Structure 1
């Protein structure tokens, strides 16, 4: 349906927002009410059959849910909050989306325009009147402050275009209370027809495509690195076609995990601090790597330490990214191409088919198959490990065994993240999600609800730690309230395990502030390990809950949770003393990098 702009007339600011969201065909608006939002909400009262209002129990959760929804659908949702604490609590979610090239529209309230610079309730005024835009500016692509109804009409189409073009990201719109309810002469604008009229998915010149294929053809040990940009560009099909056409192995970053089915013969796994050994070893030994939307972060590159994950510049990089600032940011490139991953891959596929010269890398594949066998020999015994407390690897293998192939996995931040990174098999591309650059704990716990909004018929699972779950336990109440039967699986080790492990490795085992234990007086090291009864918590909120201590109970518990179609928490007591296998390293300067616990350093 083609919309046309409404006629010039008198409109409340809130009515402009509501009517515009109908034109954008937005299915949900997520947020939390406050005096800075009630004027906005009132305009949606008669539109609830078209736009459903979803309000989790804290503003941060609203942002996490909208972020997750965008990653699955590429539809940016509005997230409404009030003033003061509401916008402040939303910044964590906004930053998380911004760092991972995800998008939603954050709509914040503000004191009335005639109260600017008075210090009225919750106004950030001490450096500049009504100054929340300065707070959030580093975490959004643009911040708009609408002080008239006409400005709301002007800013909304710009915001939606900006969120979705180029490198996606959140955008902020601030509206004072009175502007929501004041009438002004304006129109309800049409969405900008940017998908047809703005050429932003640009490719590159034909001679560049020819040069890339020539370099790959001449390589002895070529690789394709799929970063998070492959997901953002929705280029998973093109990645598969090009890899098969050229017969070149593929590995991923953590954010690129799931860009290709992990059972595919050309897939090597994830490279990084806690990556798959075949991927790490291949990256160390490759002579040419085609890099698709990867920024080479510290966890991916072993903190850029030569020989641990990469040997660059001995290895040559052909880096393709839609954001020019990411090219050669951390490593020199042999070729840098600014372009959309999907479009450039399409160009490469077309030219490669025309040349019809797939590479023959028999020696290279023999080496890679050797790396795969070494890794398989290492991990296979853990699939049936019956130790108690439960080995984390057995837990993840059993989840994978009973979950549908297309199950959507949201891992949270903490040790659960690298455990999933190494041992969860993504069989259907585009079904693994996590928080990368900003790495906000709680994203997975709440993000799984956004996934369920986006894919209500699909099994949606969050694996989290006890620390992350306790940051956002109210997610279960939201799931019950809105009938979102997600499954939370808690890797319960009575600790903020990732940080406790750093204390073990880097600080001589001196653990403080990382174990969940009871304290008596000044006995800071003799407390008993303690956590709430997570299963009982879930039940108290109307969900289901079960505690699992025996390995043989994992699969039945997960299977029952999926079949129940009820929000369910599975509290799994894991062995807190098993570290995630380190296949490269990560460094906290000036402390020297830790050595791999599987594999070895190889500098060439």
Structure 2
């Protein structure tokens, strides 16, 4: 009878928690409970312990953020956010409010902050346009396994289904959650203040465990100000105490090592999961222990120093030739946290980037849904990259597992020489207009070794991929799967918030910079001395190149040209004066037109300690060399412009 009573009490606690009373259970003992339950003659009495406090919804949020030791709240105020902001007024010594000039930028900054620190920040926006604009940033984080907590406002509870003040109401009342669900790990709608006590710890648990991703909480205006008797949860009980970094069974670890030992041409593929798992050191040790070369995906770039003798660079459409050629010819590949997307795999066409299943695939990923999504696996392991690598290192060293890959390393040395002979002259080019490859090479020469690079989306991205070498782990970032232009332009601010003493650089195109030019104003306002280097070719270059090569050179809607009446004005190229724009916002602005000016301009920008925009006029007709291919049906795949297809 006693056990039945306890079970009934616990069940009721859980039910009440689901209704917003914020009950916390830990180790099967009710701790920090809001409600205690006693069965008296078939009736249930509920009383509240002394430590329960009467709190407004916004105060619950502020108090929980203090417990999470959140340093920044990033957002943009509106009717649906001021109720929350008021509760942070007296907490500004601990939690600084940062507000860039558009809601999309708020999410981009928080996303970047997480990539650098692995700490999710809260982002707040209002209703209607605010949530809609923020969705792009939420999706960008979701695709790249980054995380932040998105708060959106909503019409007051009493006005649900009236269409009041930007409510999404026609098909379901207060229904922004439907719009954002595909891009978050979970979407909550708090209709009581007490529910926030329950949702907040669960939101941080979801963001911080397993595969990272953003979480959304929708809060009606009045819920921020409504009160509830509650206890604010302790994060230790909800996420910090969860052991989620799972590994593999010893027999599986042994099998992987045996397969690698018997291989003649093994490779390790480091995907973005290596960086997310903070497994860069384990990657280096395992590669050195086994003497196996390492290639990366674009999102895995910086997981191993590119000067390391085992690092071959990035594989993919615009990858480094040694990595591409090694991947084509490997007999087994150990893939760590890589989802094998289209740009990485040459759109899955055999012989271009990979030769699965002729090449055997061992795939390790924290997300089971990614294993064998696009390629069959010889061995699949659901587990945390750092944990699995540690297991592999321990067993390899204990059993002294090694392989003889002498011939393989000799082949790879040939690939390296071919690539070096090809790229080196371009990096030294004195051509006028400026060759993009000279630009990236000179930035790298003068930037500190630990400089954080945020490349934006467009042709600047593969130029950085090929010519920017990373020497320090976790120092290269870009928008991958969702590929949101402008992410790098604003994301560099989030990096500077996270690492104020580190040089933070964004390389972007003129198209991407114009999407988020206000980033300079935010940098000046909050003293974030970032450096923006604009590759100015008066075009959305990546798309213009497709028109040139696949649509008979019919250029439309991709060149920035003067337009008068119904015709373009003699093809005159036009862009704003980006350097003048930066100066008008209180930063520095420099225009570079000659290759000899690059290094000095970048060095001065870094040393000045001021937000600086460097507008570089580049040759708009130089295209990024394809080392594999990419296809967007019905457009046929292009052949590589460097290297050749050799299928074993």
Tell me which interval the TM-score lies in, with the shorter structure as reference length. over 0.9
Matches of 2:238 and 2:328 in 1, distance apart?
42
Question: Deviations 1:130-171 (Å, cap 9, x if unpaired)?
Answer: 000001000000000000011011100000000111100000
Q: Report the CA distance shift for 1:4/1:25 in structure 2 as closer, same or farther (over 3 A).
A: farther
Contact 1:274 1:418 (8 Å CA) reproduced: yes
2:637 counterpart SS class: coil
Residue in structure 2 matched with residue 109 of structure 1 by the alignment: 153
Q: Report the CA distance shift for 1:163/1:414 in structure 2 as closer, same or farther (over 3 A).
A: same
Contact 1:248 1:266 (8 Å CA) reproduced: yes
Residue in structure 2 matched with residue 365 of structure 1 by the alignment: 409
Q: Report the CA distance shift for 1:525/1:362 in structure 2 as closer, same or farther (over 3 A).
A: farther
1:446-525 aligned at under 5 Å gives the runs: 446-524=490-568
Matches of 2:178 and 2:563 in 1, distance apart?
41
Matches of 1:524 and 1:599 in 2, distance apart?
39
1:544-555 aligned at under 5 Å gives the runs: 544-555=588-599
2:561 counterpart SS class: coil
Residue in structure 2 matched with residue 345 of structure 1 by the alignment: 389
Matches of 2:131 and 2:596 in 1, distance apart?
45
Residue in structure 2 matched with residue 99 of structure 1 by the alignment: 143
Q: How far off is 1:357 after superposition?
A: 2.9
Q: How far off is 1:194 after superposition?
A: 4.5
Flag structure 1 segments of 5+ consecutive residues without an equivalent.
none
Contact 1:11 1:183 (8 Å CA) reproduced: yes
1:62 counterpart SS class: helix
Residue in structure 2 matched with residue 277 of structure 1 by the alignment: 321
Residue in structure 1 matched with residue 297 of structure 2 by the alignment: 253
Q: How far off is 1:200 after superposition?
A: 1.0
Residue in structure 1 matched with residue 398 of structure 2 by the alignment: 354
Contact 2:513 2:534 (8 Å CA) reproduced: yes
The answer on 1:411 being equivalent to 2:416 is no
Bigger Cα displacement from structure 2, 214-223 vs 375-384: 375-384
Bigger Cα displacement from structure 2, 377-386 vs 457-466: 377-386
2:288 counterpart SS class: helix
Q: How far off is 1:428 after superposition?
A: 0.8
1:518 counterpart SS class: strand
Q: How far off is 1:198 after superposition?
A: 1.7
Contact 2:508 2:533 (8 Å CA) reproduced: yes
Residue in structure 2 matched with residue 300 of structure 1 by the alignment: 344
Contact 2:295 2:314 (8 Å CA) reproduced: yes
Task: Count residues with an aligned counterpart.
Answer: 602
Bigger Cα displacement from structure 2, 115-124 vs 588-597: 588-597
Residue in structure 2 matched with residue 331 of structure 1 by the alignment: 375
1:31-110 aligned at under 5 Å gives the runs: 31-110=75-154
Matches of 1:325 and 1:576 in 2, distance apart?
41
Contact 1:161 1:192 (8 Å CA) reproduced: no
Matches of 1:211 and 1:277 in 2, distance apart?
30
Matches of 1:66 and 1:193 in 2, distance apart?
25
Residue in structure 2 matched with residue 23 of structure 1 by the alignment: 67
Q: How far off is 1:89 after superposition?
A: 0.4
Quick one: which of 615, 638, 645 aligns to 1:571? Answer: 615
Matches of 1:323 and 1:316 in 2, distance apart?
20
Question: Deviations 1:95-131 (Å, cap 9, x if unpaired)?
Answer: 0000000000000111100000000010000110000
Contact 1:158 1:192 (8 Å CA) reproduced: no
Quick one: which of 219, 239, 257 aligns to 1:213? Answer: 257
Q: How far off is 1:525 after superposition?
A: 7.8
Q: How far off is 1:199 after superposition?
A: 2.1
Q: How far off is 1:601 after superposition?
A: 1.4
Residue in structure 1 matched with residue 24 of structure 2 by the alignment: none
Quick one: which of 254, 276, 285 aligns to 1:232? Answer: 276
Matches of 1:258 and 1:582 in 2, distance apart?
21
Q: How far off is 1:522 after superposition?
A: 2.8
1:108 counterpart SS class: strand
Q: How far off is 1:184 after superposition?
A: 1.7
Flag structure 2 segments of 5+ consecutive residues without an equivalent.
1-30, 34-49
Q: How far off is 1:502 after superposition?
A: 0.9
Residue in structure 1 matched with residue 432 of structure 2 by the alignment: 388
Structure 1 or 2, whichever has the larger Rg, is: 2
Q: CA RMSD in A?
A: 1.2
Contact 1:67 1:450 (8 Å CA) reproduced: yes
Matches of 1:194 and 1:363 in 2, distance apart?
51
Question: Deviations 1:417-442 (Å, cap 9, x if unpaired)?
Answer: 00000110001111000000000000
Residue in structure 2 matched with residue 167 of structure 1 by the alignment: 211
1:528 counterpart SS class: strand
Question: Deviations 1:540-568 (Å, cap 9, x if unpaired)?
Answer: 00000000000000000000000000000
Quick one: which of 571, 588, 592 aligns to 2:632? Answer: 588
Q: How far off is 1:520 after superposition?
A: 2.2
Contact 2:155 2:167 (8 Å CA) reproduced: yes
Residue in structure 2 matched with residue 8 of structure 1 by the alignment: 52
Q: How far off is 1:527 after superposition?
A: 2.6
Matches of 2:481 and 2:150 in 1, distance apart?
20
The answer on 1:198 being equivalent to 2:198 is no
Question: Deviations 1:387-439 (Å, cap 9, x if unpaired)?
Answer: 01000000000000000000000000000000000110001111000000000
Q: Report the CA distance shift for 1:196/1:78 in structure 2 as closer, same or farther (over 3 A).
A: closer
1:98-177 aligned at under 5 Å gives the runs: 98-177=142-221
Quick one: which of 474, 481, 496 aligns to 1:437? Answer: 481
Matches of 2:402 and 2:490 in 1, distance apart?
44
Residue in structure 2 matched with residue 531 of structure 1 by the alignment: 575
